[in-house]
Amino acid sequence: MKRIPLKTAREIELMRGSSRIVAEVLAMIGQHIQPGVTTKELDEIAEAYVRQQGGEPAFKGYGHEKHNLFPATLCVSVDDEVVHGIPGSRRLVEGEVVSVDVGVKKDGFFGDGAMTFPVGRTSEEKRRLLRVTEEALYKGIAEAQAGHHLYDVSAAVQEHVEAAGFAVVRDLVGHGIGRSLHEEPAVPNYGVRGSGIVLQEGMVLAIEPMVNAGGHQVKMESDGWTVRTSDGQPSAHFEHTVVVRDGEPEILTRHGKTGSHKG
Assigned domain for 224 exists:
yes
Its pTM stands at 0.95
Q: Strands, E, within the chain: which ranges? A: 56-57, 74-78, 81-83, 97-106, 109-118, 167-168, 174-176, 183-187, 204-207, 210-212, 218-220, 227-229, 235-237, 240-243, 250-251
Assigned domain for 258 exists:
no
Assigned domain for 4 exists:
no
Assigned domain for 3 exists:
no
For residue 88, the enclosing domain spans: 9-251
Assigned domain for 76 exists:
yes
* Contact of 229 with 235, CB cutoff 8 Å: yes
Assigned domain for 257 exists:
no
Assigned domain for 256 exists:
no
Number of domains in the chain: 1
Pure H helices in the chain:
9-32, 39-52, 124-142, 150-163
CATH number of the domain to which 213 belongs? 3.90.230.10
Q: How far is CA 111 from CA 38, 102, 177, in A?
A: 25, 8, 7
Residue-level pLDDT, tens digit, the chain, 263 residues: 567 889 999 999 999 999 999 999 999 999 999 999 999 999 999 999 999 999 999 999 999 999 999 999 999 999 999 999 999 999 999 999 999 999 999 999 999 999 999 999 999 999 999 999 999 999 999 999 999 999 999 999 999 999 999 999 999 999 999 999 999 999 999 999 999 999 999 999 999 999 999 999 999 999 999 999 999 999 999 999 999 999 999 999 997 543 333 33
